[in-house]
């Protein structure tokens, strides 16, 4: 089998698998934040800022996968 095929599969797996965890995590975090906003509308501003920071940390994990997918993609001749 051509080695380029392995690079392509590796790139697809890198981005595909690395989105699973952050997807679930971001869903849980934003669900709880929305619940908090609905219960206490007076702290919506604070909650939104903190939720964005939490989402950014989780998103970084998916971005690592994306970067590695790009690097592997660049190796396909």
Partner 1 sequence: MDAVMQVASSEGVHYLAGGHTLWEASAYGFNFSFTMGLTKWMVVFWGVMLFMIIAGTIGARKKALVPSGWQNFSEWTYGGLSNFFSKMIGPHLGKTFGPLLVTFFIFILLSNYSGMLPLNFSMDEGTLSLSNLQAPTSVFSVTAGFALIVFFCTHFAGFKENKLRYFKFFVSPIAFMLPFTIIDVVIHPFTLALRLFGNIHGEETVVEQLMQLSVFVNGWAPAIIEVLGMLFGLIQALIFSLLAAIYISEAAEHF
Residue 42 CA to residue 25 CA, distance in Å, equals 25
Q: Apex CA 21: angle with CA 58 and CA 50, to 5°?
A: 25
Q: Which range of residues in 23-31, 34-42, 69-77 is near partner 1 by CB under 8 A?
A: 69-77
Check residue 60 for interaction with partner 1 (CB under 8 A): yes
Is 44 near partner 1 (CB under 8 A)? no
Count the residues of the shown chain that bind partner 1, applying the rule CB under 8 A: 15
Question: Two tokens at 51?
Answer: 């939720």
Q: Which string of DSSP letters, residue by residue, matches 15-41?
A: HHHHHHHHHHHHHHHHHHHHHHHHH-G
> Rule CB under 8 A: is residue 34 a binding residue for partner 1?
no
- Which residue ranges make up the site for partner 1 (CB under 8 A)? 49, 52-53, 56, 59-60, 63-64, 66-67, 70-71, 73-75
């Amino acid at each position: 089998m051509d080695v380029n095929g392995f690079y392509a599969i590796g790139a697809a797996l890198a981005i595909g698998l690395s989105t699973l965890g952050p997807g679930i995590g971001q869903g849980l975090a934003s669900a709880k934040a929305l619940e908090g906003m609905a219960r206490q509308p007076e702290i919506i501003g604070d909650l939104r800022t903190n939720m964005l920071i939490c989402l950014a940390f989780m998103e970084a994990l998916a971005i690592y996968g994306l970067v590695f997918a790009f690097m592997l993609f660049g190796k396909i001749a």
